[in-house]
Structure 1
Amino acid sequence: EAGLYSVLGVSSYFYSAYLLSFLFANLAYTGHAYQYLWPDHPEVQHWANPVLVIVFCLFGLAFATSFLDTRQRFPRLYKAIVAAGLLVSLLTVLSFILGAQGLAMKVAMAFLILFSLGMMVLGVLSWRAGIPSAKYFLAASITHTSAIVLSAIIVLTALDWGDFGIHIIEIAMLVDAVLLAFALADQFRILQNEKFLAEKLANIDHLTGIWNRRGFQQLVSPLWHTGLRNQHHMSVILMDLDQFKRVNDRHGHASGDQVLQQTASMLNSSARAGDVLARWGGEEFILFLPETGLSKATHIAERLRQSLIRMETGLTDLPLTASLGVAHVHARDIGMEELIRYADSYLYRAKEEGRNRVFFGEAGDTANTEAQMAT
């Protein structure tokens, strides 16, 4: 229920209160509540019918307005519903103070009719507004409104419809409850999908369409811990486009963005299944290589460097190159951030040595770093 509440908010609680209040209103109407719940309090039974009918209607409207977000979508209608609820509550309290149970009963019956019609209106408006779950809500409101009208006809015309006529309201409310449960489930599914999409978009770099830093960290974290636990080889490649500022300065940021998109596409098509590629920031990209030793990772980095040189960017006056740093770890208890720092230090050395080259080494072994020069 906590998970349902976290997505649907108070709608799920109002739905429960709506069904529970109907149960008590029906028990009071049939006399079972007087027989089993308050047999020694006839004054409670005297007021139970009108009060519980009104409570049932109020919870129904609370559920409907919350579930259909009436306050935001139909603010004037929402204010009218709140005003009607307050007026009915005030009249009920006044009837109780005056001891006018007959007045309270008339108010309850009038409110029940208005409630049923109001639920249908809300359903129609929400359905026309394109709210997906409104179709179930509208079907439910039509069901219990039809049952109330039919029940009133049976009572007023004294027709004998047997057990069906006696229990028509209970049957309708059962159908109503099922349909509203479908509506809640449908809305839950929609909101969950929206939440999943929003979380996914928050992890995607909007320019290049690959993972951003946040998405990279979330994806790599379980792979990292598994690799450490099983003492697997793991490598990281950091790649930075050389003198990328010149592209923006000479050709504009639109051309620079296009180059970044082309680079991301090339890296994505070159990455192996299981590798994790992300835009690390600006013109810097990162590639996590699970179960990959230093020699293989360095070979991949060199291949990427050469692929970038061959990539057609349309900027003939500015050949595109990149510097890359490769760091590897095996059977060492270090953090993922530390491995990335080593890759960054090797990338910095590649920049210092003239750019357009690959530097690589073991994490924690800076004294033994080797260099792979561009050809």
Structure 2
Amino acid sequence: MFFFGRQRCLLLLVLCLCTLFTNSVRAHPILVTEPHSTPLGAHASFLVEHGRPLQLRQAYRAWQDGRFDRGDSPIASYGIGSSPVWMQFDLRNPSADWLPQTLTLGKTWMDHLHVYLLQDGRVLRAWKAGDGQAATAALVPGVGYRLPMQLPPGDSQVFIRAQTPDPFVLSVFLRSQAETSAAEHRVQYGYGVLFGFLLALICYNLMLYLGFRSRSYLYYALYLASFIGMCLSYSGHGFSWWWPEAPGFQRFVILGSMVLYGCCGFLFASCFLKLQEHAPTVRRWVIAFCVAALILMVHFVWIGSHVDAAVLAFNFVTLFSVTMVLLGVLSIRHGQREGRYFLGAALCSMLGVAATALSVRGVIPMTAVTFHGVEFGIMLEATLLSLALARQMRSQEEALRNARRLYRIDSLTGLPNRCAFYEDTLGIWSTAVRHDRPLSVIMLDIDHFKDVNDHHGHQFGDQALVAIGDLLAGSCRAGDRVARWGGEEFVLLLPETTLAQACRFAERLRRAIGNCQLVKGNNRIRLSASFGVVQRGYQASLNELLREADRKLYEAKQQGRNCVVSARSLETA
């Protein structure tokens, strides 16, 4: 008797625990007269279908039997390819009148949403929504599906059946019409800021491409445009605006745009980081990775395998983010100064993509921050990549200036070369001709320079050229032009200078060169130079004037060197 009495006590205890458990699953009713700014997932209970689809009466019976599980997160998330899920929550309207409320269900990519309002087991109203059917006025881009409701006095229940092969993310809000409108405006303003920021960057980079013809700017604009396309597809803007009657297209456009976004990112990274030059093997692997992803996506779309396409798209974007970080590390190892900006941008993007991907797959809790992580990440990434492009542009401009300087400057003496001399003196020649002003040319050549190289070495000969170049540059006026003409020859153009003045100046230079002593070991070596001087007169061009000066220089060498010969053969040493 004691044993059977003990059994009855245990059975009674189990029944009490079951009753308590059933009551714990059934959450307290939601007071609809109070504001609710957060999703209702934590106030609801859920049932995942297994086997045959459940009808409403079967789901209602399962709820009565306590087979629904209490929600533990404001937003329900069940990952990719989930079975259909039933959601139930109780409502309480303490007033005596029917109360208008708005039920908002997200996300916009949910294929099938069946919503039922019940009271005392009777269906008061039913709705259908989702991107598995043509878009209706219930679709609010960036928000979800908006369903106006009239809630009866007393207690009522809402049952929702949600189904999608995409990542299962169900956020449910119940708010007044004013609160719903304000929340929708906040979301639309956020997307407006995002799209406006990215469009401005696209236009800016397209203008830079047209100006500099650097493909990095074009590919970066394409990369940003692909993100906007992806964002418009998964937020529902494209479905609402451009293809509302094409739910079949909407099924795959989000997933396809994700793969296209990653491919455009790799295209930009390959060009910006010069992978073909620094890491050709890595570039080939990246190309193969992108081609394989595109082929697989086309295959899954062709056979209609939505779940496989979703798994591919999310895995590809995740691997894309990780690979971009690795490419940034690789660029730093190769000494690319822009690599630090690229790595920082890639890290921001990776964290944002990881937060969104993991939250929609149910790995981490779904919140507004984690869901919009990819958008926050892309804004930070776009800012840092813009800095990287600007840094690259400054580097290119600096390299171009250095190249131009090297193109114009003689690397040994630091004087302008022949090309720079022509560029700098054509304007001076034109001014002298137009206003009939005096203009003279001095051409000089170091005497016996070959012997200097042969006897003392080319290094000493270079020292001699540098010393004479410095002497000439230090002796000229601000408006004069001096250049190394080639070999051991130098040329000077003297504006506002007559032949007599030029000859006197050449004689001073001749003496200064003669007084210049170069030291090699214990020896002091003197140099000398021959000069040819002419003034502009009958010559029709600057080249004719220079040829005349060269002839006078030749005459100076014929007369024994170390002398000045002008058009009038004025002076010899």
For normalisation by structure 1, the TM-score amounts to 0.89
Alignment of 1:15-94 (within 5 A): 15-94=220-299
Q: Name whichever of 305-314 and 293-302 sits farther off.
A: 293-302
The aligned amino acid for 2:299 is L
Q: 1:279 — aligned with what? A: 484
Instruction: State the identity %.
Output: 35
Matched, 1:309 2:514: yes
Q: 1:208 — aligned with what? A: 413
CA positional deviation for 1:4:
4.3
The aligned amino acid for 2:304 is G
8 Å CA contact 1:289, 1:297 repeated in 2: yes
8 Å CA contact 2:439, 2:494 repeated in 1: yes
CA positional deviation for 1:8:
6.8
Mind listing any 5+ residue stretches in structure 2 that lack a counterpart? 1-205
Structure 2 vs 1, CA of residues 334 and 44 (structure 1 numbering), >3 Å: closer, same or farther? farther
Structure 2 vs 1, CA of residues 160 and 241 (structure 1 numbering), >3 Å: closer, same or farther? closer
Q: 2:544 — aligned with what? A: 338
CA positional deviation for 1:62:
0.9
Matched, 1:143 2:348: yes
C-alpha offsets along residues 226-276 of structure 1, whole Å, 9 cap, x if unaligned? Answer: 443444332211001223222233333333222222221221222222322
8 Å CA contact 1:242, 1:323 repeated in 2: yes
C-alpha offsets along residues 52-110 of structure 1, whole Å, 9 cap, x if unaligned? Answer: 11111001011011101122222332222122112112211222222223222211111
- CA-atom RMSD in angstroms: 2.4
Q: 1:366 — aligned with what? A: none
Indicate the SS of the match to 1:259: helix
Indicate the SS of the match to 1:88: helix
CA positional deviation for 1:153:
4.2
Matched, 1:111 2:316: yes
Relative contact order higher in (CA < 8 Å, ≥ 6 apart) = 1
Mind listing any 5+ residue stretches in structure 1 that lack a counterpart? 362-368
The aligned amino acid for 2:345 is A
CA positional deviation for 1:327:
1.9
The aligned amino acid for 2:390 is A
Q: 1:268 — aligned with what? A: 473
- Larger relative strand fraction: 2
The aligned amino acid for 1:21 is S
Structure 2 vs 1, CA of residues 40 and 334 (structure 1 numbering), >3 Å: closer, same or farther? farther
Matched, 1:123 2:293: no
Matched, 1:97 2:317: no
Matched, 1:235 2:434: no
CA positional deviation for 1:157:
6.1
CA positional deviation for 1:343:
1.1
Distance in 1, matches of 2:548 and 2:208, equals 41
8 Å CA contact 2:515, 2:526 repeated in 1: no
Matched, 1:296 2:495: no
Structure 2 vs 1, CA of residues 2 and 373 (structure 1 numbering), >3 Å: closer, same or farther? farther
Q: Name whichever of 107-116 and 337-346 sits farther off.
A: 337-346
Structure 2 vs 1, CA of residues 189 and 289 (structure 1 numbering), >3 Å: closer, same or farther? same
Indicate the SS of the match to 2:518: coil
The aligned amino acid for 2:504 is H
Q: 1:373 — aligned with what? A: 572
CA positional deviation for 1:212:
1.6
C-alpha offsets along residues 142-201 of structure 1, whole Å, 9 cap, x if unaligned? Answer: 111111222234432684634x45543223212211211111110010011011112211
Q: Name whichever of 52-61 and 221-230 sits farther off.
A: 221-230
For normalisation by structure 2, the TM-score amounts to 0.60
8 Å CA contact 2:473, 2:482 repeated in 1: yes
Match of 2:553 among 332, 335, 347: 347
Indicate the SS of the match to 1:210: coil
Alignment of 1:312-327 (within 5 A): 312-314=517-519, 319-327=526-534
Match of 1:161 among 347, 350, 367: 367
Q: How many residues are treated as equivalent by the alignment?
A: 365
8 Å CA contact 2:472, 2:509 repeated in 1: yes
8 Å CA contact 1:7, 1:188 repeated in 2: no
